[in-house]
Amino acid sequence: MPRQAEEAINAHLENVFDKVPEAREAFRLAASDVLGPDEYARFDPATQAISLSRRLFARPGRLGAAYAREVKDGFHPRGTDWRSIVTHEIGHALVMKHALGRPGLTASGVSANLERGVIEKLGLSRQDIARELSEYALNGPQDFVAEAFAEFVDSPAPRRVALAVGQLLLAAFRR
């Protein structure tokens, strides 16, 4: 990881930990050379490791521009930037950590419940999710939760879907 990206991410992590102290113990971070060509990052539930693409994070300027285009296109949540790639993965890690501590729960089950609860509470269609959160959130319940968590933590003005998911996830975690 080049120093420029590493410093930016470390500063970003401190912001995340300020807002969500539980995140501090939920994962470890590593650079990886084995992700797909366009894969920014990956969370491995077995090891609680977040892998960041060494190649893509080697050029934070280029990565930032690519991610910003995706935000503009609605593929990622409004109010997030390239550092939110890490926040998204932390969302996966938090769900996993929550499930691990509670017999009978799985990360996919917890995510599906959260998604269903928020969709019902807000009366959302798929189109609403794409418009009010992100297109990538349609990838499945786990990415729905991770995208919402990224917006909840990183956006200066999180919207109603991100707020609902973030508050429910933290409430579940703190129960």
Binding site for Zn ion (CB under 5 A): 143, 146
Nearer to Zn ion, 56 or 146 (CB): 146
For residues 77, 83, 89, 93, the Cα torsion angle rounded to the nearest 10 degrees is -120
SS3 85: helix
**What are the two backbone dihedrals, phi and then psi, of residue 160, each rounded to the nearest 5 degrees?**
-65, -35
Closest CB 3 distance from Zn ion, rounded Å: 26
Closest CB 170 distance from Zn ion, rounded Å: 19
Closest CB 1 distance from Zn ion, rounded Å: 20
E-strand stretches of 26-158: 28-32, 41-44, 49-53
Nearer to Zn ion, 3 or 115 (CB): 115
Residues contacting residue 33 through CB under 8 Å, at least 6 positions apart: 54, 55
Nearer to Zn ion, 146 or 161 (CB): 146
Nearer to Zn ion, 3 or 90 (CB): 90
Closest CB 87 distance from Zn ion, rounded Å: 11
